[in-house]
Amino acid sequence: MSSTFYMPSLNVMGSGSVAEAINYIKEQGFKQGLVVSDEVLNKIGVVKNFTDLLDKAQISSIVFDKAQPNPTVGNVNDGLALLKQHDCDFVVSLGGGSPHDCAKGIALVASNGGKVADYEGVDQSRKPQLPLIAINTTAGTASEMTRFAIITDEKRHVKMAIVDKHTTPVLSVNDPSLMAGMPASLTAATGMDALTHAIEAYVSTAATPITDAVALKAIELIQENLLTAVDNGENIVAREQMAYAQFMAGMAFNNASLGYVHAMAHQLGGFYDLPHGVCNAVLLPHVQRYNARVCPKRLKDIARSMGVDVLSMSAEQGANAAISAIEKLAKQVGIPAGLEVLGVKVDDISLLADNALKDVCGLTNPKQASHEEICQIFLAAM
Ligand SMILES: [Fe+2]
C-alpha cells in the first residue's frame, strides 16, 4: 500500500527563529499580509512585536485578532472580509491552534471561493490556499505544520474537520521564546493534546515506519519535559524540547491521522466550547482502554516510551501500563478527572456519539466502534 507524507517544505525551529519568517516573506516579494491572531496575544504586545518587524522590512500588514479559542465560521468570514478589503497576498497566523486554523479557513476560501463549509472532509479544495506563514506560540496543536483545520459551525454546534493538503502552511516557525509566556494550564492542555496526537497516530491504521519513529520520540520528549514546562514556564530547555515534541507529534498525525479521542473531543469542543487539549486528555486513557483489545502491543511500545520498564510484561500488561502512565501524567499536570466537572451532560451523550461517528478523524482508529460503544466510552470518562 502506498502512503504520502505531508508537511511544510520549510520549518524553522529554535529561539530567534521569527526573524527567519520575516526574511522569507521578503524573499517571496509578498506585499500585503493579513496577520491572524487572538485578542490576548494582541493585548500583551506579541502581535505588535511581529508587525513592527514587518514594518521594519517595509512589508504592509493588517491585523485580524478575532480568532476565538474554538474558531468559528463567523471568525473565518470576518477575517476573509478584511483580507479582501486590504487586497492581501499572503496570510500570517500568529498564536496557537485557533489562529492557525482560522487562518487556514480564510486562506483556503480566499483562493478557492465559496464558503468554508464547502471544504469539510478530505481534500475538497481545487487550489492551494493563499500562502500561509504559521508562527506558533503553543506546544501544541501542531496546526502550524499540518493539513488539518478545525472550524466550529456555531449554528449546528459542531466542529467541522477540514483535512486538505492545500491548507499546509508554506513555512512553519516554532520559536520557544514565544512559548515561555504560556500559562501553566494552557501548557498542560496543549502538551496533552500533543501526547494525544502522537498516541493516536501510533495506534492508527494508517501508521507507517516514518510516523511511528516520530510518534514514539514525541511521546518520550513529552514524558520527559511536559511537567517541567508546566511547573516552570521560564525553563527554555523544556519549552524547546516540547516545541520539538509537538512538532514531531504533528508530523505523525498529519500523515497517520488520528482516532476516536479527537473524533469525540471535537464534539465536546463544538457543543460546550471546551478547550480541545483538556477534552483530549480526559478521553485519552478511556479510548486507549477500548483500543487495547486490538493493539495491546502498540500500547506497550507507548508505555516503554513513557519510561515504563516493560521488558517482563505481556502485551496486555504493557497496554495497561501505558494507560496508567497517561493517567498519571494527566493528573500531575492538573487535568480534571472527568467530563462531568467540565459540564458535560449524560443526556447529550447520544447526540455527541452520533456526531463523533461522522468525524473523519475516527476513520483510522484501530477498532471501529458502534454508537453504543462510543456512548460507553463517553460514560466511562464522565
Ligand atoms: Fe489535537
259 closest CA partner among 295, 284, 223: 284
Asked if 222 contacts 245 with a C-beta cutoff of 8 angstroms, the reply is: yes
Residue 1 has pLDDT above 80, yes or no: no
Residues 1-15, mean pLDDT to the nearest whole number = 91
Partnered with residue 95 across adjacent β-strands are: 136
Grid cell in block for residue 66: 478575532
Residue 98 has pLDDT above 80, yes or no: yes
- Would you place residue 158 in the very low, low, confident or very high pLDDT band (cuts 50, 70, 90)? confident
Grid cell in block for residue 6: 505531508
- Ligand 1 centre from 360 Cα, in Å? 13
| Amino acid identity, position 239 | R
- Domains of the chain by range and CATH? 10-178 (3.40.50.1970), 184-380 (1.20.1090.10)
CA distances from 265 to 39, 218, 260, 357 (A): 24, 21, 8, 12
- Ligand 1 centre from 245 Cα, in Å? 14
Measured CA to CA, the distance from residue 280 to residue 331 in angstroms comes to 13
Cα distance between the two ends of the chain: 39
Residues 309-318, mean pLDDT to the nearest whole number = 98
For residue 235, how many other CB atoms are within 10 A of its CB?
17
Residues 110-126, mean pLDDT to the nearest whole number = 96
pLDDT for the residue 307: 97
Residues 185-213, mean pLDDT to the nearest whole number = 97
- Ligand 1 centre from 142 Cα, in Å? 8
Measured CA to CA, the distance from residue 68 to residue 78 in angstroms comes to 12
- Ligand 1 centre from 189 Cα, in Å? 10
Residue 15 has pLDDT above 90, yes or no: no
| Amino acid identity, position 99 | P
Partnered with residue 172 across adjacent β-strands are: 11, 134
Residue 218 has pLDDT above 90, yes or no: yes
pLDDT for the residue 93: 98
- Ligand 1 centre from 208 Cα, in Å? 20
Q: What is the pTM of this model?
A: 0.94
Mean pLDDT lowest among 14-23, 128-137, 182-191: 14-23
Asked if 329 contacts 223 with a C-beta cutoff of 8 angstroms, the reply is: yes
- Ligand 1 centre from 312 Cα, in Å? 33
- Ligand 1 centre from 293 Cα, in Å? 23
356 Cβ partners below 8 Å, 6+ apart?
260, 263, 264, 266, 267, 362, 374
- Ligand 1 centre from 331 Cα, in Å? 19
- Ligand 1 centre from 173 Cα, in Å? 18
Residue 180 has pLDDT above 90, yes or no: no
- Ligand 1 centre from 280 Cα, in Å? 7
Beta strand 10-13 pairing with 171-174: parallel
Q: What is the largest CA-CA distance in the chain?
A: 64
- Would you place residue 82 in the very low, low, confident or very high pLDDT band (cuts 50, 70, 90)? very high
pLDDT for the residue 140: 86
- Ligand 1 centre from 28 Cα, in Å? 31
Residue with cell 507507548: 302
pLDDT for the residue 184: 95
Dihedral, CA atoms, 98, 102, 105, 106, nearest 10 degrees? -160
- Ligand 1 centre from 265 Cα, in Å? 9
Measured CA to CA, the distance from residue 250 to residue 239 in angstroms comes to 16
Mean pLDDT lowest among 72-81, 214-223, 228-237, 267-276: 267-276
- Would you place residue 273 in the very low, low, confident or very high pLDDT band (cuts 50, 70, 90)? confident
